Structure 1
Amino acid sequence: MNDSAFHYVDGALHVEGVPAASLAEQFGTPLYVYSRDALTRAYRAYADACAGRKATVHVAVKANSNLAVLNVFARLGAGFDIVSSGELARVLAAGGKASNTVFSGVGKSAAEMREALEAGVKCFNVESIPELHALNEVAKSLGKKAPVSLRVNPDVDAKTHPYISTGLKSNKFGVAFGDARATYREAHDMANLDVVGIDCHIGSQITEVSPYLDAVDKLLDLVEQIESDGMSIRHVDVGGGLGITYDDETPPDIGDFVRTLLAHFEERGHGQREVYFEPGRSLVGNAGVLLTRVEYLKPGEEKNFAIVDAAMNDLARPAMYEAFHRIVPVIERKASARLYDVVGPVCESGDWLGRDRELAVEQGDLLAILSAGAYGFVMSSNYNTRARAAEIMVDGERARAVREREEVKQLFAGESILPD
């Protein structure tokens, strides 16, 4: 198992102190299940490594925006990283503070800027010159100065899937490195902007420290140039993207990763500078599983299929990224295993959750799809008019529904037919 919160007791999968099978019976399937202990331990690994340093943790809301998950982090003192005004609303509803929230994203609207300025967000991570001008105008209309950091694209290869690599010249994100110094001068000259930092985010599911160190070196070189132009850069935001173990990956330990980066700032003579971390997947990915029930076993000439009640609309990552998630039985069987493709009922050939998996399984059995806490429910949809799954939080021996399962009638409640 990827996390000690998910473990077997006498052949039965448990989430902390609760049998997973009992959760499926009580709340139905498909079912997202999160461990409060796993969330807490992952956050504390970051926070403990930052202790005594000018370093802060801002949880990337896009990885998992459930209010209960965000509330766990808010209670621990986390800041947040958002990419929409909707995510800001979630942070506030979960007990987070706008004053400890940074607003990222390549396409912020004027309405979103206005809402965030009125709430008092900590910083806007700006990604283009047109966005600078738009933010300056919105701030002017409110009689405010907007704190800004430019997201600089350092052209560093994060060595990850192309869809989640964000720091190359060919990506849509950030200001080109060669244009950054001049863009900072332009931002500095805008009356309603307050330049406070610099930001980068090179990708996601990164399993090596070296790309981060390369990016930090390029950022600090640029910081020295910017400050020689008369500006003061108070913080450096190194983004998120640290990977987790889905299969056999060996990402660095969270604490070691943070300490390595902070030590590098000191080695470069920038130990006094505040550093922001924006973790998402590494906080929530291995703190969640998706439980699903086998509807049918379908043998074929070339493939055997285990057809389950979860589908690509519930967990999009395999169809979207060809991502690997381990799939394990909730109750272990001693029968011999067969090779199955684990697929859902959605009418798409791309509706698969795992290929060529050795499983000892029978119709009606429960399976657990591991490492589903990040980019799981948040990317789910109602394709094929399928109601989205419930979400459950386990805390020791207690389990609580933190998002009720949708009902089909809710899915078209806002629609209407044409009059006669």
Structure 2
Amino acid sequence: MISKVETVIRQIQEGSEEPVCAYLYDLAGIQEQVRQMLQHMPQHTSLFYAIKANPDPRIIEALLPWVKGFEVASIGELLKVRRISVQVPILFGGPGKKEAELEQALEHRVTLLHVESLLELRRLIAIAKRKKQVASILLRINLRSSTLPRTKIVMGGGPSPFGLDEEWVEQAIQIIREEGAGAVHLRGFHFHSLSNNTDARLHAEMIDLYLNKVKAWQDAYGIQVDVVNAGGGFGVTYDGSPGFDWPLFTSLLKQSEARKQLDGVQLYFEPGRILVADHGYYATEVTDIKVSHGEQFAVIRGGTHHNRLPASWGHNHPFHVMATEHWAHSYARPEVKQSEVHIVGELCTPKDRMHSNAEVELLRVGDIVVFEKSGAYCWTISHHDFLGHPHPAFHYLTEGNDHVNSDEAFQSASR
């Protein structure tokens, strides 16, 4: 795949006098990854794509034939999916749904709404009654448990704006029975306790914890559970260490006694990062190399305003150098040879840094730095318009040697 990416990058460089600055998304690679993941999944389990990881319409379009549906966290995300498909199942989460959003969710036929508070539940009941519709819901639960895996981003198991504390389950069910009859249909429960967990065994244990809780509530309150949404949180690493072991995780699911006790209940997962992170590349041209106080800096055309993930997470982003002979000047071409260099962006802030103390064999002005693993939470979480620099181009790699640029992709996604 790297050779295919570099071929496209060379075409970009040869076709413009401006320094290269582009995202490249391998749509075929995303589809193949999902296909392989599905092969390992047990019966009565389904994959939804959490589009917050990367809501690019071409990625949604590429995943449409492969995933069960999409998870969204705003009306803006919901409408992006509906522009691609008016039928595909949608799960709608988020801790701050406004009344207008709940109304639009019903209008756009959201499959399941994740209810995150008692107030939100009552709001939804009132809206559904007024619209004479039935809203299918999952109660999102924040468990009180010290046994949950601990990761860099923890969303449950302690004080959190996400979901209902588990001691409110009984009251929520009572509200549904007494106030929500004919307006809401409780289909089950939703859990999303952490993000970017790389321990497959701990993740499987966490799913067992979820399922055991659901079985206890089902028995205690006499409810019928159809769906348990176990969220996402499957980790990707950026330092070369092993990522999430999906085959191991799914093999443990198949052996799970807790899952067998809820025989026939659909188990949903809504991953984002693990589906797309490895299939995105951010390519930027080196525009200057300088020495300051004995340290070397390579300035790129781009930076954290395009790819904020390394600054947000405090890591050095993985990259490789693509050498080019792009130098048409009579004066010397600056370079770093067999040395360390800081790779920084074009913004006038010291926080605009993609990689510190990077060891390179050779890096020259005009070479391209290709930041790998740039498919998730890179472009869309970035402060694109800070200082007004031009946005990167977007290119999409499909089967064979084909690729389309952002203009062609926009036309395709808008059809």
The interval holding the TM-score normalised by the smaller chain is: 0.7 to 0.9
How many Å apart are 1:136 and its aligned residue?
1.3
- Counting only pairs closer than 5 Å after superposition, residues 198-277 of structure 1 correspond to structure 2 as 198-228=189-219, 229-264=221-256, 268-277=260-269
| Residue equivalent to 2:373 | 371
Q: Is the 8 A contact 2:21 2:284 kept in 1?
A: yes
Per-residue CA deviations over 1:376-401 (Å, capped at 9, x if unaligned) read: 12112211123322221112211101
How many Å apart are 1:265 and its aligned residue?
5.3
The residue identity in structure 2 corresponding to 1:312 is: T
How many Å apart are 1:204 and its aligned residue?
1.9
TM-score by length of 1: 0.86
The 2-side partners of 1:169 and 1:255 are apart by 30
**1:123 paired to 2:104:** no
The 2-side partners of 1:403 and 1:108 are apart by 33
**1:88 paired to 2:78:** yes
| Residue equivalent to 2:138 | 149
The 2-side partners of 1:364 and 1:282 are apart by 32
The 2-side partners of 1:332 and 1:294 are apart by 11
The residue identity in structure 2 corresponding to 1:253 is: D
- Summarize the Cα distance change of 1:213–1:390 in structure 2 as closer, same or farther, 3 Å threshold: same
| Residue equivalent to 2:60 | 70
Per-residue CA deviations over 1:196-248 (Å, capped at 9, x if unaligned) read: 01111122221002442343233223212322212111111111111123222
Name the Cα RMSD after superposition: 2.5
**1:47 paired to 2:38:** yes
Which of 157, 163, 167 aligns to 1:174? It is 163
**1:193 paired to 2:184:** yes
**1:391 paired to 2:384:** no
Which of 104, 116, 122 aligns to 1:133? It is 122
| Residue equivalent to 1:337 | 338
- Summarize the Cα distance change of 1:144–1:169 in structure 2 as closer, same or farther, 3 Å threshold: same
**1:356 paired to 2:357:** yes
Which of 381, 399, 406 aligns to 1:402? It is 406
Q: Is the 8 A contact 2:212 2:258 kept in 1?
A: no
- Percent identity over the alignment is 24
Secondary structure of the equivalent of 1:299?
strand
The residue identity in structure 1 corresponding to 2:135 is: A
Secondary structure of the equivalent of 1:340?
strand
Secondary structure of the equivalent of 1:377?
coil
The residue identity in structure 2 corresponding to 1:218 is: L
The residue identity in structure 1 corresponding to 2:210 is: L
Secondary structure of the equivalent of 2:243?
coil
TM-score by length of 2: 0.87
Secondary structure of the equivalent of 1:293?
strand
| Residue equivalent to 2:25 | 34
How many Å apart are 1:403 and its aligned residue?
5.5
How many Å apart are 1:69 and its aligned residue?
0.6
The 2-side partners of 1:402 and 1:70 are apart by 15
**1:346 paired to 2:350:** no
The residue identity in structure 1 corresponding to 2:242 is: T
- Summarize the Cα distance change of 1:337–1:267 in structure 2 as closer, same or farther, 3 Å threshold: same
Which of 293, 307, 314 aligns to 1:301? It is 293
**1:21 paired to 2:10:** yes
| Residue equivalent to 2:329 | none
Per-residue CA deviations over 1:111-169 (Å, capped at 9, x if unaligned) read: 111111111111001111111111112212211111110111234544322xx321231
**1:313 paired to 2:313:** no
Q: Is the 8 A contact 2:320 2:370 kept in 1?
A: yes
- Summarize the Cα distance change of 1:209–1:405 in structure 2 as closer, same or farther, 3 Å threshold: closer
Q: Is the 8 A contact 1:238 1:278 kept in 2?
A: yes
The 2-side partners of 1:262 and 1:63 are apart by 27
Q: Is the 8 A contact 1:199 1:236 kept in 2?
A: yes
The residue identity in structure 1 corresponding to 2:373 is: S
Per-residue CA deviations over 1:175-196 (Å, capped at 9, x if unaligned) read: 1133334333333432311100
**1:111 paired to 2:112:** no
The residue identity in structure 2 corresponding to 1:97 is: Q
Matched positions, count? 391
| Residue equivalent to 1:416 | none
| Residue equivalent to 1:409 | none
| Residue equivalent to 1:79 | 69
Gaps in structure 2 of 5+ consecutive residues: 326-334, 411-415
| Residue equivalent to 2:413 | none
How many Å apart are 1:38 and its aligned residue?
1.3
